[in-house]
Amino acid sequence: MAPWLRFVEAWAVQQLLRTPAFHRAVEKVARQVHRVRHGTPPDELGGTKIDQPGSSGYLQHFMDEVKTQIGSAESKNAGGNTGLNIDGRVMADQGTTARVNAEAEKVIDESAEAAWRDSQRNAASQTPRQSILGEFGSAIREQWKSDKRG
């Protein structure tokens, strides 16, 4: 191989190793290899991703909800206030659920009212801030007045 060709090859490798895109591509390949060998890391499952390694995923969650709703509809048609749904869990009677919901709404309303009163008190106690142009104009006026006096 010609010496100048080796020089060009070394230069091209050096230029490639300096680019961030090359490093991102290598990192992406290494991450994929790690996922294939060890599964998706738990720190990448945050946010709205509900699939956990080893769990059945979104489809299973959807089917569980459908079974739950069908089970509650079947128990209503059977005429009983309590019963078992498809999964075998005991359903609460409708009166208890209504009372709990009403109490929760009352607590939420009271806390919302308290928060509204607090925000009104805080807003009334604070003086309105000037905009940046208003503050700049005030500073210029003060300097101008002090220059006239002095």
Virtual torsion, Cα 14, 15, 17, 20, nearest 10 deg: 160
Q: What pLDDT, on a 0 to 100 scale, did the predictor assign at position 127?
A: 67
Tens digit of each residue's pLDDT (9 = 90 or more) over 106-146: 888 888 888 878 877 777 776 666 677 778 888 888 888 88
Q: What pLDDT, on a 0 to 100 scale, did the predictor assign at position 150?
A: 64
Residue spans per domain, the chain: 8-38
